[in-house]
Structure 1
Amino acid sequence: MLAINVEMVPRIKIMGFIAYKSPWLHFKRNINEYVLYFIRSGELHLKEEDKHYVLRKGDMLILEPNMDHEGTEKHVCDYYYIHFEHPDIKSLQIEDMIALADYFIASHDQSPFTQHKPPMADIHPYGCYFPKYHTISDKTRFNQALHAMNEMLQLYKRRHYNRSLTALRFTQLLIELSRENFIDELQRNDRFRSKSIVKVNALLDYIHQNYQNKITGSDIELAFESNYDYLNRAFKKATGQSISRYINTVRINQAKELIETTPLSVGEIGYLTGLNDPFHFSKVFKKYVGMSPTQYFKLIRESD
């Protein structure tokens, strides 16, 4: 497992696509940068130090710096490659992948104003964790990865800011791959049913994208084509909270952030967080924070 701090953007050294129509053997080298390979078709046989890999369609591998790697067999192969550097990336041994996956998919809401408690030591709440070697077997995901690679190639060929734009899209791809890998881990575990965890993950995204608006049970049923009670049970099993409580938690966390960082009035903040009625906003805020929005505003200003 590799961990990368996505608050820092990687430096793209070189990117490209190669199609070998005749059997080809990768040359031996040792370089001071990471190299990502994504196989479109054919086979690429490699070893890194003493570890052997046979890469086929949909396989992705990241080679690490200052390690010998070379081809072991000749084969026809089409693949994308990205050479990159990053100041904060490291290799980790994760003992409990399910706990890590559960944390990032179901528990972690990415808000800087929430106290995060990662399930194990050395886990950064804003890190991106993905396997060194990964297979994208699903046809839809494979096509999405191809699209992302081709997008990056087009960005890389631009005259201006090409490496910077490519690096941003590359970071997005790593985040997407990380989340997909965690979802796969949860689907393989008995605690989570495959369809329900996918829907819970989609529902979490839906809530974060729509909390400013009124969200009803009917809205959720329509968006996810599922019974609300079923979704609520699956959601609570995965996150430990009901859907309605989670929605209010997101709204109140955002309200706290706005109180702490803007001069907006309490009424405006309630409107921006989906709690339009001032009395209802104050009631919900006090239930979750232990004081009214006005009291919290005064507390923050006094501490400044």
Structure 2
Amino acid sequence: MKISIIGLGWLGLPLARSLAQQGHHILGSTTSPEKHRQLMAEGIDNVLFRLDPHPSGEGFNRLFEADLVVVNIPPKRRSMPDTFHPEQLKYLKTLIQQAGIGKVIYTSSTSVYPNTNGEVTESTKLCPNSTAHSAVYEAEKVLWAERHYELTVIRFGGLLGMDRIPGHYFSGKEQVAGNIPVNYIHQEDAVRLIAHVIDKELWEETYNGVCPLHPEKRSVYEKNAQEMGFEPPKSYRNKDLPDYKVVSSQKIRETGFVFRVEDPLEFYYNTK
């Protein structure tokens, strides 16, 4: 297939390499001229493309000469209002529709689910008042609305592994929330899950991409610190508020997908 990946970032770039190895023709996008040149030198075809929220770049119309578009644009939650990301998707959707592209994958986030103090699944009802991430919730709605393409939404948990070490972010911190379950997925499995959806043609669905096992945050942070030699959190909250969720991955596993790293306590990292 001709596959365009909008966003050759931490997840998009290894996805591009993996799909290319499987024989797909890959074109990606980046917002950085320096990264564009670097990737071209590595033999990874890419174009400059931005959504601010209107589209701009150089030669980006090539992105829409594809059978499938993978939308991998993280919301700029800290620097932009919640309306920005859905606006990006509106412009992108127009380009996709005009080009007549048949299939779209949107990499969403489990942050759309509210903290229920229990398990959430793909069938958990969401609304503007209950979602914990309105930008992603509204972006999903934009893509699901009147359309001419087949869509699958993958709601990923915390994307970790490789150079993203969860315990490192809390090293030396005080009053860290430690007694609540994690909803993580390793980079390798996130890449494999997207490839699985493409290979098995799992269209018109929403899937959670989260490890089947959910150890407590404290266990993960302490193991990271012990194995990699940095300081663990200085202290944990005496009693965490009962404010959590456990995201189920049963639906994607029922399609035959098998996680290679089921337990966040067993994640491997590249610390070089």
TM, length-normalised to structure 2? 0.30
Give the number of the structure whose alpha-carbon radius of gyration is greater. 1
Q: Which has the higher helix share?
A: 1
